[in-house]
Amino acid sequence: MRPTKAIINLNRLNQNIANLKALIRPETSFMAVVKANAYGHGAVPVAKSASKAGADWLGVALPEEGAELRENGVELPILVLGEVSPEQSKTVLRYDLTQAIPSIETARHLNLAAKQYGKRVKVHLKLDTGMGRIGFRSISELEKAADELSSMEFIEIEGAFTHFASADEEDPSYTTEQIEKLDNMLKALKNRGIGPNIIHASNSAGVFHFPNANYNMVRCGISIYGYYPSERAERLADARLLPILQWETHIAHIKTIEAGCSISYGRTYTASCTRRVATLPVGYADGYNRLLGNKAFVLVNGKKAPVIGRVCMDQIMIDITDIPDAIVGDPVVLLGEQGTESITAEDLAKLCGTISYEILTSISERVPRVYVET
C-alpha cells in the first residue's frame, strides 16, 4: 500500500455519535450526514459504522451517493438533501431513497418517475427560511405547491425541513427568525391538510446552540467526524468530540543543503544556513493545499517540522534540522496526532483561510483510506 494514507478510527466515530445523541431527547431521531464521501472519510464504511452506532437516518447530497450505499448493503433510510434532475429521479426510485422536494417542478418529475416504477416515493419538503439556496421561500408559494402536491398520487410527504445559515455564530437572532418562519410554514401546511411526520432543522451547530429547534430529528455532519461547527460550540459544549481521521505519510528522501540553496518552485524558500531537508511523497494532488507551503508544519518523531517551499503536485519538503534522529522511512503525520503534538483540520484551515470541512473533503481519492476500530 502507498505510504501516504488516511487512517479512519471508527471507534471514535461511534463514540462521537453516542456523545451527540446524549445531547438530544431519546425520542429524537439522529441523521448522520455522509455526503461528499462522508466528508472525505469514506461513505460506505462510515455509513455502516454509523448504523451500528445508533444513527436512524443517513443524509447524502446526490442520488448517486445514496445508490452507492444501497449497493453496498446499507439499509437505513437515506435522504437526498439536494435538488435532482428528471434523470436522477429514476435513481431515487430504483434505490428506495427519500428525496428532498425544494420546488413543485421537482415534485412533478419525481411523481412521473414514481408512476413509471409503479410505486410511491417518500419526500421531505425543503423550506428555505433564510439560507437562500433551494426550497420553498414563502408561505404563498408553499400553499400553492401544497394544493398540487396533495393531488400527486405517487408522492408521499413524509417530512419537512430547513437549514440554518448561521447557527454557529454568536448572535442567535437570525436563527431565531428562521425557526419562527419554519413554524409558520408548518402551520400553513397543516391548514392545507399536510402534516409531515418528520420535522428537522438542526445541523451540528443547531444541536449545540438551539435545542428548542431539534423537532423530532437532527442532522449531524462535521461533528460526527470529530470537529465542532464553531469555536463557540467547542467552548460551551460538553460533547467530547475526537477527530476520527489521521493523515500520514513517510520520509522518502533526505538531503543536506547549504546556505543560499533554494527549495521548490519559485524559490520561495532559501536556506540561510546549512539545513537538513526531507521530501515527503504527498502533494496538492492528494489534497494537501498549496497554500500550506512555508506556513504549515508536520509531525516527525513527535516533533514539529516546518513545510518549506511551495507544495508540489506530488511532493512537499520539510525542514528536519532539529530532528537529527529522523531517517528515511520514518512516519510523518500531516493531520492527526503523534506523541504529545497534534495537527487538526482546523489548524490547516486557518492557514488556508478556509474551514475544516474543505480540508477534509479535499483529501483525494488517490489517498487510500484504512479503517481501524481501536
Residue linked to cell 518549506: 308
For residues 178 and 184, what is the distance between their CA atoms, to the nearest angstrom? Answer: 10
Neighbours of 203 (CB within 10 A): 23
Q: Is-contact 278 320, C-beta < 8 A?
A: yes
Catalytic site residue from 119, 187, 255, 265: 265
Furthest-apart CA atoms within the chain: distance in Å = 78
For residues 307 and 249, what is the distance between their CA atoms, to the nearest angstrom? Answer: 14
Q: Which residues contact 324 (CB under 8 A, 6 or more apart)?
A: 276
Query: Is 265 tagged catalytic?
Result: yes
Name the DSSP letter for residue 222.
G
What is the number of H-type helices and E-type strands within the chain? 12, 20
**What is the length of the chain?**
374
Q: Which residues contact 290 (CB under 8 A, 6 or more apart)?
A: 284, 310, 311
Catalytic site residue from 5, 21, 35, 303: 35
Q: For residue 40, which of 338, 335, 373 has the smallest C-alpha distance? A: 335
Query: To the nearest 10°, the Cα dihedral for 155, 159, 165, 166?
Result: 180
| 273-277 contacts at long range (C-beta below 8 A, 24 or more positions apart) | 274/321, 275/319, 275/321, 276/319, 276/320, 276/321, 276/324, 276/326, 277/308, 277/317, 277/318, 277/319, 277/320
Q: Is-contact 301 333, C-beta < 8 A?
A: no
Query: Is 35 tagged catalytic?
Result: yes
For residues 184 and 205, what is the distance between their CA atoms, to the nearest angstrom? Answer: 22
Query: To the nearest 10°, the Cα dihedral for 137, 142, 144, 146?
Result: 150
Catalytic residues: 35, 265
